[in-house]
Homo-oligomer: A and B are copies of this chain.
Amino acid sequence: MTVVTIKDVAKVAGVSTATVSRVVNGQGKVGEQCRKRVQKVIEQLGYRPNGSAQALVRRELKMVGVITPKLSMTFFGTLAAGAEEMAREQGYSLIMCNSLYETQSELDAIDSLRRQGCQSIILHSEYSDDAQLIALAEEISGLVLINRFIPQIAQRCVWFDNLSASQQATRYLVERGHTEIAVISSIYQNGDPADRVVGTRQALQQHGLELNSNKVIESTANIDGGKEATEQLIASGQHFTAIVAYNDLMAIGAMQALHQHGIRVPHDVSIIGFDNLPIARACIPSLTTMNYPVEEMARYAVELSLILARKEHPHTKQTHLFISELIERETVRNLRVVQSEDKSVGE
């Protein structure tokens, strides 16, 4: 007797498997003393319903799949943690897949999830194109895109208002007297970086300023990328008193590069990051950044996915947009207050 099945329980309790099933699931009519007896046998034998059999007959696996590029990055780890939490609350388990920023592994992951019978999938897609994703949405009722917006499947998109966030960040700098602003952007393909540059440009224009393209440097969205981009920026001789970074990691890299060149933050150069990772609070000086409510978004995405998978969606064309807020810390200097010294970079 390796594993206890419902039949074993039924036999010992002297009832049919139907009754045991009813007791386990707490539905259908079962007499009180009968229920008690079955309960007891279940305990004694340590019966545990077989999930595969349940999934087979119910035609649904109580799992939600999450596909992100790289779980070891705090941002995606946090995303996964939020998703796991909501999934668990709803009685689902979480299957995790890393896509490693490759289209093929992204597709493989989706395929493997579908094969498992997983109808709920949260996808953070960097590289698949819109058409592919729209096609996928046709087939997978519970597909939800996180951090991406595709108009045709707006109701499946849980995303972040990059435009207004970067406008907000830029405005904050301008209001503090910064007019020469550099942007350290990412080489990601998914539109986010581009949106943010646009946001910065728009905010500057609203104040009669302009974003010089020479001050926009792209690199990989991590610490090294930030360092590299900043080196490039310094080397180019551009004049700037503030940097808007694509994310906190790049901002940290920028701080390192500036530090190596003896440029002080925020005294000589101010910096704003994105994401509000724990590291932003921890670094010295602590990083002013735009909050990215990724955990909350992930929770929401799972909830949405479960609803969509149940096909209860009155096909609203509503989309799901999360907005940012600025976390004020120590890396932005207000040039309009103290004018003690006026050193800045370049020129």
Task: Say if the beta carbon of A51 comes within 8 Å of chain B.
Answer: yes
Using a CB-CB cutoff of 8 Å, which residues 11-66 of chain A contact chain B? 48-53, 55-56, 61, 63
Q: List B contacts of A50 (CB < 8 A).
A: 56, 115, 117
Write the A92-130 contact mask toward B (1 if CB under 8 angstroms, else 0). Answer: 011111100000000000011111110000000000000
Task: Assess whether B81 is in contact with A98, with CB atoms less than 8 Å apart.
Answer: yes
The residue that A93 contacts in the complex, of B51, B95, B281, B283, with Cβ under 8 A, is: B95
Given contacts A51-B115, A74-B74, contact A96 B96 (CB under 8 A): yes
- Minimum Cβ distance to chain B for residue A147 (Å): 16
Task: Say if the beta carbon of A145 comes within 8 Å of chain B.
Answer: no
Q: List B contacts of A162 (CB < 8 A).
A: none
Q: Which of A175-183, A199-207, A232-240, A250-258 sits within the interface?
A: A250-258
Q: List B contacts of A256 (CB < 8 A).
A: 282, 284
Number of this chain's copies in the assembly equals 2
Task: Assess whether B71 is in contact with A80, with CB atoms less than 8 Å apart.
Answer: yes
Task: Assess whether A93 is in contact with B84, with CB atoms less than 8 Å apart.
Answer: no
Task: Assess whether B85 is in contact with A81, with CB atoms less than 8 Å apart.
Answer: no
Listed by A's residue number, 28 A-B pairs whose Cβ atoms lie within 8 Å are A49-B115, A50-B117, A51-B61, A51-B115, A51-B116, A51-B117, A52-B61, A71-B77, A71-B80, A72-B295, A73-B77, A74-B74, A76-B77, A77-B77, A77-B80, A80-B96, A84-B96, A84-B98, A93-B97, A93-B113, A95-B95, A95-B96, A223-B278, A255-B284, A256-B284, A279-B279, A283-B284, A284-B284
Q: Which residues does A use to contact B, with CB under 8 Å?
A: 48-53, 55-56, 61, 63, 70-74, 76-78, 80-81, 84-85, 88, 93-98, 111-117, 223, 249, 252-253, 255-256, 259, 278-279, 281-284, 295
New contact pairs (19) apart from A50-B56, A51-B115, A77-B77, CB-CB < 8 Å: A52-B61, A52-B116, A52-B117, A71-B77, A72-B81, A74-B74, A74-B77, A76-B77, A77-B80, A81-B98, A93-B95, A93-B116, A95-B96, A223-B282, A249-B282, A252-B282, A256-B284, A259-B284, A282-B283
